[in-house]
């Protein structure tokens, strides 16, 4: 599998320099709270006391899941390709957020069960027309997983070459909360029942059916397994591409904006290969999917927003971006006490 070399962002000398800079801005020490923490994190990611954010991009990977054959989602898998057309026309939730916050949008067909004609705005990297049904067999082969990792990394490289140093990841794929729930339980040890939620809007009865199917899939995969085996058994092509993208973004010292339940599970999976990837992550929000809060706690993550979002597509990550932007404006645009001739008042 493609190897990544990711450095820890810790730098005691730089941390002291940036902290002193923040503490001497014209405000009481610590009075801008999380903005101060974000400014320090981005400074350490970029290894400079003068951080900047350039050309943010949301990469949206789309693919279908074989497990939808078992009725684990309220929506049919045809929604994947239909919504992808909507996104390409600019009419989806992620579109207005990208326009509002000046994000580029890169849309990637990772494995949608549909034949798209050549289209402007759609990058065709299709692995296969959807994963296999993991109730009965592995969702993907190890070769397919490795291809997804490589493609995800290449997509981030496109953003980086164009001058971007901030990337968020989104997904579109009916059934991917089921895949995410199984990654979560296998990689954290949290009981499956606490990892399974309503997805796109299942009733209580629907959630119970989803849990029974996923528990059966887990029972059909007994024993102890490597992260690679878990990812192949239950993953989605769009999810594994996001894993590769996250790893490459960290390797390139880019800021990673993490979206909801599915993308947080992708970061969890990425951390199985390179634990250092979490240093580069800023968690946009805590979503409505029931397992997301537990997963964030497991990762010791503090999301910026809690808006009852459950759309996916990268929407929560892009929605949170202005807070990160405010943190960088704070450290770069506020005056120090000495420059402003203001007496230090704390």
Boundaries of every domain in the chain: 57-324
Confidence class for position 13, pLDDT limits 50, 70, 90: very high
Of 47 and 339, the structure prediction assigns the larger pLDDT to: 47
Confidence class for position 338, pLDDT limits 50, 70, 90: confident
Task: Tell me the C-alpha distance between 323 and 342, whole Å.
Answer: 27
Of 169 and 346, the structure prediction assigns the larger pLDDT to: 169
What is the predicted pLDDT for the residue at 202? 87
Active site residue 313: yes
- Given the residues 251, 276, 288, 313, select the one marked as catalytic: 313
For residue 290, is pLDDT > 90? no
What is the predicted pLDDT for the residue at 342? 84
What is the predicted pLDDT for the residue at 19? 97
Closest CA to 137 of 68, 200, 217, 203: 217
And the tokens for 228?
A: 């690679």
- Residue 216's beta-bridge partner residues? none
Alpha-carbon torsion 139, 141, 142, 145, what sign? negative
pLDDT digits (tens, 9 = 90+) for 152-175: 999 999 999 999 999 999 999 999
The mean predicted confidence, pLDDT, of the chain is 96
* pLDDT, mean of residues 5-30: 96
CATH 3.40.50.10210 holds for 57-324: yes
Task: Tell me the C-alpha distance between 152 and 110, whole Å.
Answer: 9
* pLDDT, mean of residues 68-74: 94
Burial per residue of 40-75, b for 16 or more beta-carbon CB atoms within 10 angstroms, e otherwise: bbbbbbbeebebebeebbbbbbbbbbbbbebebbeb
For residue 200, is pLDDT > 80? no
Task: Tell me the C-alpha distance between 188 and 295, whole Å.
Answer: 8
And the tokens for 218?
A: 């887990």
And the tokens for 108?
A: 């990637």
What is the predicted pLDDT for the residue at 344? 82
* pLDDT, mean of residues 69-73: 94
What is the predicted pLDDT for the residue at 144? 98
For residue 340, is pLDDT > 90? no
Confidence class for position 30, pLDDT limits 50, 70, 90: very high
């Amino acid at each position: 599998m493609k190897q990544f070399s990711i450095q820890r962002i810790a730098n005691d000398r730089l941390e002291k320099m940036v902290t002193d800079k923040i503490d001497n801005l014209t405000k009481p020490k610590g009075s801008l709270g999380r903005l101060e923490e974000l400014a320090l994190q981005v400074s350490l990611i970029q290894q400079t006391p003068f951080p900047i954010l350039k050309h943010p991009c949301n990469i949206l990977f789309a693919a279908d899941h074989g497990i939808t054959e078992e009725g684990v989602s309220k929506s049919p898998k045809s929604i994947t390709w239909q919504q992808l057309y909507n996104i390409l026309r600019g009419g989806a939730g992620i579109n207005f957020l990208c326009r509002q916050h000046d994000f580029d949008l890169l849309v990637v067909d990772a494995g949608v069960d549909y034949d798209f004609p050549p289209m402007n705005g759609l990058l065709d990297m299709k692995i296969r027309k959807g994963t296999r049904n993991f109730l009965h067999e592995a969702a993907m082969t190890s070769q397919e997983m490795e291809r997804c990792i490589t493609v995800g990394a290449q997509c981030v490289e496109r953003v980086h070459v164009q001058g971007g140093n901030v990337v968020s990841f989104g997904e579109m794929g009916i059934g991917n909360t089921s895949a995410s729930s199984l990654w979560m339980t296998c990689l954290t040890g949290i009981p499956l029942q606490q990892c399974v939620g309503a997805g796109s809007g299942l009733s209580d009865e629907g959630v119970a059916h989803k849990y029974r199917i996923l528990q059966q899939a887990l029972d059909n995969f007994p024993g102890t397994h490597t992260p690679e085996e878990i990812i192949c058994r239950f993953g989605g092509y769009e999810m594994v591409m996001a894993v590769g993208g996250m790893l490459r973004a960290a390797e390139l010292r880019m800021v990673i904006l993490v979206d909801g339940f599915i993308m947080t599970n992708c970061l969890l999976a990425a951390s199985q290969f390179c634990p250092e990837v979490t240093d580069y992550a800023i968690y946009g929000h805590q979503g409505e999917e029931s397992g997301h809060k537990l997963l964030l706690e497991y990762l010791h993550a503090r999301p910026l927003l809690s808006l009852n979002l459950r759309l996916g597509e990268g929407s929560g990550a892009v929605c949170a971006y202005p807070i990160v932007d405010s943190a960088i404006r704070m450290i770069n645009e506020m005056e120090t006490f000495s420059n402003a001739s203001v007496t230090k008042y704390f």
